[in-house]
Chain A
């Protein structure tokens, strides 16, 4: 059976899900087609989870506009979706004279970008704010508006809210062809044909390949890998804020940051790679990251490593976002959302809705009343279900059986083991499943997740 929609969004990363939400809430009939067994199978599954202010974004760019619009909307809707935010603020820390000399420029850029609450502070004030920082820290730019959020629950909430507004989300539905006819597009997917009057390409790391289905892609994805080390320490006991380096011509440098799950992490590196999926870590780089973290905060020398991970940025040959409504065709390209997509997603969604209205068709006159779909809380700083009782299955992260069941069931249920972890934190603690791994996998296998017992997560499961 061929299904027909107003808009098909290709790609269930944070950007595609935010767009889906916005269009569905405008009253359009929408479908999202995701290649993986679950949403967040690409760039959006491994990032730093910082909600940016745009203080260092290129002036006048679409990126800056979307980051600021997106962060603003995130703050506006987060309570109703039960999404967390730790208002940690950030310090851009100067470790030598040359770096210190760059701070006034960064301040001017931030102010020009409208981030007016930033200011410079000296070494003494910095050490009072962050007493564990190594003595080499000389001065900093304080950016109070930078914040830490939950990288997985936010897109999940966007997807769930879209579902509540009538959207359809299909996983294991890689788009392999797109044909334009009089009534719109016919997309070939692994789950059959889908018809839509308009298409949004939000395929992230595969954005150029999806674009090539309809035209020579105006950009090429050049994935840039970022590796991370997460320390097994309660983050707030050592560092309060996000500690950014002063960017140099050569490198943006790595960030030491508290995670929403209550730990401290360092990363990401920036490495050119041919990998478009399955980002790998390597020991030498991880050791380098760990050493850098200890240089910044010597007390980390005693800390254990809780987990390691890597993410892939959908970078292109140019720095800027590659967003356009393809002239004369009902196709909107949202590509190259490289390193700020979590912050910008809701802003990009607004932008896409504007493009849709101006280039494709007017939005329905009477948008429906918003339906709010709060998601379970995973943030450590807020109340978590185990505190009220229940059976704890994952002891390190204190995840209850009911939470795992809920993630395996209901709207936008987990599609693979990784998706289950991202929805619950189960198996993500210091023992990495030594204690709970079998129980969690058995629950996942009983719910039909193909990779729970060693098979593959994606189509063609073993």
Chain B
């Protein structure tokens, strides 16, 4: 790994597309460090349709899209190191990698941070009530359903009505899970879905969207049994056997914590803030590549 021209941190759509573009433009040593055992990022576990439009002009299922991006990277000569975590950024171009053999220092010409985003957690949203294993983000559910074949509940409530909440519905449908409703907490969403989504989900999936709700509290002894919330000033309760905490994305930028904007680090994809589609993230990765090529 030694001294790559560019080290891309994160092998999701943004990282892979960036690395591919760099290699195609003739850059020799492009290294993608991906901490998971497989590259591809979120699409790897999003088994439903809806990926790739912006970057490839057609829609694919997530895993197909992830595989496609990986094949393109490898064909272009990119080295994709999986099971490889960037443990910390030490300074300009200086990065410490972790893999199964231990910690290794790498000095790269440029560093691209493409570590993506994650959904806001129950704790970050200060959602009160009981703590049970049947409470999880869409991302966790998706990996359970598509990667592990696990079905943690049958009638969950979805907290949030953002784009990703509809990914939660598709994931549920795949596993025979029937969500009870979507609860929209109003302000605070990171990526509000268009107005027509609510009527569409009611029509297509018979799942109501309850708007203007607040203060959700998870109830249940031994397991999730219901969610209580306020709507239009009144308390309501919905029975459910699980809760999907969806949306409110946060950039996964913990590598930058404590660093005063380390020079030479370029951000690409979801790590830059407002949520993008996977294809959009790939396009952002290509944009970052153009920026690097323009600089050198």
Residues of A in contact with B (beta carbons under 8 Å apart):
230, 234, 237, 277-278, 280-283, 286-287, 290, 304-309, 386-392, 395-396, 417, 430-435, 437-439, 441-442, 445, 451-458, 462
Within 8 Å CB of B223, what residues of A? 454-456, 462
Is B126 within 8 A of A237, CB to CB? Answer: no
Is B100 within 8 A of A434, CB to CB? Answer: no
Q: Pick the contact of A442 from B101, B139, B148, B215 — CB < 8 Å? A: B148
Within 8 Å CB of A308, what residues of B? 122-123, 126
Is A432 within 8 A of B121, CB to CB? Answer: yes
In the assembled complex, B296 has its CB within 8 A of some CB on chain A = no
A-B contact pairs, 12 of them (CB 8 A): A234-B258, A278-B221, A280-B129, A304-B124, A389-B99, A392-B35, A392-B85, A430-B254, A434-B118, A441-B148, A442-B144, A454-B242
Residues of B in contact with A (beta carbons under 8 Å apart):
35, 37, 45, 83, 85, 98-103, 118-119, 121-124, 126-131, 133-134, 136-137, 139-140, 142-144, 147-148, 150-153, 215, 217, 221-223, 241-242, 250, 252, 254, 258
Q: 9 tightest CB-CB pairs across the interface, nearest first? A: A438-B143, A454-B152, A437-B140, A282-B128, A432-B121, A389-B102, A434-B139, A438-B144, A434-B118
Q: Pick the contact of B133 from A280, A290, A457 — CB < 8 Å? A: A457
Q: Give Cα A431–Cα B115 distance, bound, in whole angstroms.
A: 13
Known: A237-B258, A386-B98, A454-B153. A306 touches B123 (CB 8 A): yes
A-B contacts, CB under 8 A, total:
128
Known: A234-B258, A431-B118. A392 touches B98 (CB 8 A): yes
B283 nearest CB across to chain A (Å): 24
Q: Pick the contact of B217 from A282, A287, A458 — CB < 8 Å? A: A282
Within 8 Å CB of B140, what residues of A? 433-434, 437-438
Q: Give Cα A307–Cα B121 distance, bound, in whole angstroms.
A: 8
Is A278 within 8 A of B130, CB to CB? Answer: yes
Q: Give Cα A431–Cα B251 distance, bound, in whole angstroms.
A: 11
Within 8 Å CB of A283, what residues of B? 126-128, 215, 217
Given A432-B122, A441-B148, A454-B223, 17 further pairs, Cβ under 8 A: A234-B258, A277-B221, A282-B129, A283-B126, A283-B215, A290-B126, A305-B124, A386-B98, A387-B103, A396-B254, A431-B252, A435-B139, A438-B45, A439-B148, A442-B150, A454-B151, A455-B223
A341 nearest CB across to chain B (Å): 21
Q: Give Cα A434–Cα B148 distance, bound, in whole angstroms.
A: 14
Within 8 Å CB of B217, what residues of A? 280, 282-283
Q: Give Cα A223–Cα B128 distance, bound, in whole angstroms.
A: 19
Q: Pick the contact of B123 from A305, A386, A435, A439 — CB < 8 Å? A: A305
Q: Which residue of A lies closest to B134 (CB)?
A: A454
Q: Which residue of A lies closest to B217 (CB)?
A: A282
A452 nearest CB across to chain B (Å): 7
A385 nearest CB across to chain B (Å): 11
Q: Which residue of B lies closest to A234 (CB)?
A: B258
Within 8 Å CB of A386, what residues of B? 98
B153 nearest CB across to chain A (Å): 5
B137 nearest CB across to chain A (Å): 5
Is B35 within 8 A of A395, CB to CB? Answer: yes
Q: Pick the contact of A439 from B126, B143, B252, B258 — CB < 8 Å? A: B143
Q: Pick the contact of A286 from B45, B100, B101, B126 — CB < 8 Å? A: B126
Which one of B150, B215, B217, B221 has the highest number of Cβ atoms from chain A below 10 Å of its Cβ?
Answer: B150
Is B133 within 8 A of A286, CB to CB? Answer: no
Q: Give Cα A386–Cα B99 distance, bound, in whole angstroms.
A: 9
B123 nearest CB across to chain A (Å): 5
Within 8 Å CB of A434, what residues of B? 118-119, 121, 137, 139-140
Q: Give Cα A388–Cα B142 distance, bound, in whole angstroms.
A: 31
Q: Pick the contact of B100 from A230, A391, A457, A458 — CB < 8 Å? A: A391
Q: Which residue of B lies closest to A454 (CB)?
A: B152
Is B100 within 8 A of A390, CB to CB? Answer: yes
B71 nearest CB across to chain A (Å): 24
Q: Which residue of A lies closest to B140 (CB)?
A: A437
Within 8 Å CB of B102, what residues of A? 387-389
Within 8 Å CB of A230, what residues of B? 123
